[in-house]
Structure 1
Amino acid sequence: MISFSDTAVAKVKEFAAQTPEAKGKNLRIFIQGVGCSGFAYGFTFDDKRDDDTVIENGDLTVLVDPNSAPNLTGATVDFIDDQRGTGFMVDNPNQPAADACGTGGGCSGCG
């Protein structure tokens, strides 16, 4: 369903080790909404819920809610630190198509 690069897994573990609230919890990835550039993603450490999809990615357990799961199928998560910025990057084949001005996701105008 969702795969994480080795770099992303290492960064999640690093964040978990530095975040006391993450102790005993798993990573949750979810879609927060759709904006001009497509899906907006959220990441948090959370407890498993009964209706979650549980993905084992090596020794990383990822939780996905039933509303986000269909839109995250086939997605790959990486962690980048380069000229584009620093953070998690989601490569998602289900990303909504860009509109005519290239911003996608229902913006009211270009620019």
Structure 2
Amino acid sequence: MINNHIKLTKTAIKKIKNLIFDKKNKNLKLRVYILGGGCSGFQYQFTFDEHKNNDDILIKQGDVSIIVDPISFQYLVGGKIDYIENLEGSKFIVKNPNAKNTCGCGLSFNI
């Protein structure tokens, strides 16, 4: 388990807790991963998962855990995950110091 390589804001922790509560399954963790594509090259993806693969990295902060696969982890090291609600909608976003460019929506980036 790693605690300091990817941070969660208080807002993200609260939203993750609320979503897990709504799904009535306290074994769920937020899985964060990177896919190729998007307008800038890579895109962030989020889903809930109760299964951790042997090589996944488990990060606990507050009362929640996130799971990141090792390939995605290398792109996220030093990043911060936040949750925002605005006129465009609501979403988890990543503030990623490794990203050279990001798109306007904040969901894709390149290295």
TM-score for both structures, normalised by structure 1: 0.76
Taking only aligned residues, the RMSD between alpha carbons, in angstroms, comes to 2.2
| 1:30 corresponds to | 33
Q: CA deviation at 1:38?
A: 4.6
Q: Displacement of 1:16 after TM fit?
A: 1.3
- 1:95 and 1:77 mapped to 2: Cα distance? 14
User: CA 1:38–1:10 in structure 2 vs 1: closer, same or farther (change >3 Å)?
Assistant: farther
| CA separation of 1:7 and 1:88: change in aligned 2, threshold 3 A | same
> Aligned partners of 1:68, 1:57: CA distance in 2, in Å?
19
What is the number of equivalent residue pairs in this alignment? 100
TM-score, length basis structure 2? 0.76
Equivalent position SS for 1:51: coil
Deviations 1:34-65 (A, max 9, x none): 43235311111211110011111122111110
For 1:69-109, what per-residue CA distance to the aligned partner results, in whole angstroms no more than 9, with x for missing partners? 100101111111124542111111112436xxxx975xxxx
- Aligned partner of 1:43 in structure 2 is 46
Greater than 4 Å deviation, 4+ residue runs:
none
Percentage of matched positions with identical amino acids? 40
Contact 1:39/1:95 (CA < 8 Å) preserved in 2? no
Distance in 1 of aligned mates of 2:27 and 2:109: 38
**Which structure 1 residue ranges, 5 or more long, are not aligned?**
106-111
Question: Which whole-Å CA distance do the structure 1 matches of 2:56 and 2:95 have between them?
Answer: 21
Cα separation, 2, equivalents of 1:25 and 1:82: 26
Deviation at 1:13, TM superposition (A): 1.1
Give unpaired runs (5+ residues) of structure 2: 103-107
For the 8 Å contact 1:38–1:95, the answer to whether it is kept is no
